[in-house]
Structure 1
Amino acid sequence: MDNIRQRVATWVASLPLEVDAGSLYARCPIAHKWKATFRSVLVREASLWRMADLGAAFIDLVDSSRYLSARIVLRSACETSALLAYLNKKLNDVVSGQIDFDSFDEITKQLLLGGKNEDYFQPVNVLTALTHFAKDHPMILEIYNRLSEDAHPNAAGMIYGFSTSQPEIFLTSFSNRFSAIDPIRNHTIASADLVFLCYEQQYNEIWPHRFEALEQWLRDNDQRLEALRTRA
């Protein structure tokens, strides 16, 4: 747990208190006259706030041996990491010509403002995001699927997690078995260590590189984009 504690403490200490659109514009007026770049920064920083909160909750739950709850929190952290990875992929897709800028603009609305409420944009499908996340980090999908079995009220998260059976005498005894079986079967701490590490790579390494590439792409394509906007 030492790696996890240190990582989460670093997140908490690094939480941004604001995102100033004016500062972004001063950094690169051409790139940051578009709302999509501002939304991209907001998605990144909101993800850090969420991961710091989930990470702190995960530590508290493990320390109190509440492993089912810890696994449910870790599943949410996995989904949050996947959404940032999805944004990173789309940043690259614009620069490489796989999607146009208007499509990217809509995706940033989905990532930042998506939800099931009728007033929201259609959210990005989490499983789609996880599939892209797993391309960079192959173990993620396997971890997520195991976490989901416990998060849902399926056999693993219900009867097997909270009871033992003695069929020869037709007796079922209830207890919280997650703490006892976790080191053998679930490896929650090891899974969290990998998920949190993968998130850091997406946040600290992949996002800055791809965001800077997008800024340069916007500078290079400014006249074409302005012409398209004028025609629209």
Structure 2
Amino acid sequence: MMKRTLTTATIPILMIAGCSTSGTQPDPVNGAKPITVVTPSPTTAGSTEVQAPSSTVPIPETPDMPVPDSMPRETDYNNADVGYVAESVVRSERIMKAAELYLANPTISAAGKDVATRAKSQHSASLMAQKEMLAAWGVSNPETIFPANPQNIPTEADIDQLGALNNGELDKRFLELMLGNLKGAAESAKQHMAEGFNPEVKATAELVISELEKEKASITEAMP
């Protein structure tokens, strides 16, 4: 299987907070499904053996023999991973929508425009990879498993409010939403680091945490 890597934005910060195409769903109590890894061990030239409980079955040597780090991602996740990636998708979509509405207003500040442009670009870059991961886990609509109390993700009402503002009021309100989103993204990422299982998703959460302060500084500086 082709090894895929979840694309991370510098600010999924302005991102994030957890169904499977395989036959067994993750255990909601115990977390991740067990991973079965078959490791070939060479015997004589031209063949390998796979040790079975009751017998040894020789199989032809092949360059496509699976190795542990190329196992399908469907086998290495738990419910916390699913919820976190689902929240990441919804967070990214809301931030992109808010940024587009803000950027469409000609009265915004240059500093606010820079923040919105960067946020829109970064979330757009990570969104497709996040959706692909959810699809591999059998989730087509992340809104259906979106947390009841999301961590500071802008609501549709928050976004609609931006359309009624102009000038400094608009800048202030948009940047407040971005700062609140940073705080929520940090809390969600820290929670996932403690509860998640998938190493790809945990690496994303770790990156979010490490990049938060830089983004917070740039948004605070842009605040009118």
Higher helix proportion: 1
What TM-score, normalized by structure 1, do the two folds share?
0.28
Bigger RCO of structures 1 and 2 (CA < 8 A, at least 6 apart): 2
What TM-score, normalized by structure 2, do the two folds share?
0.29
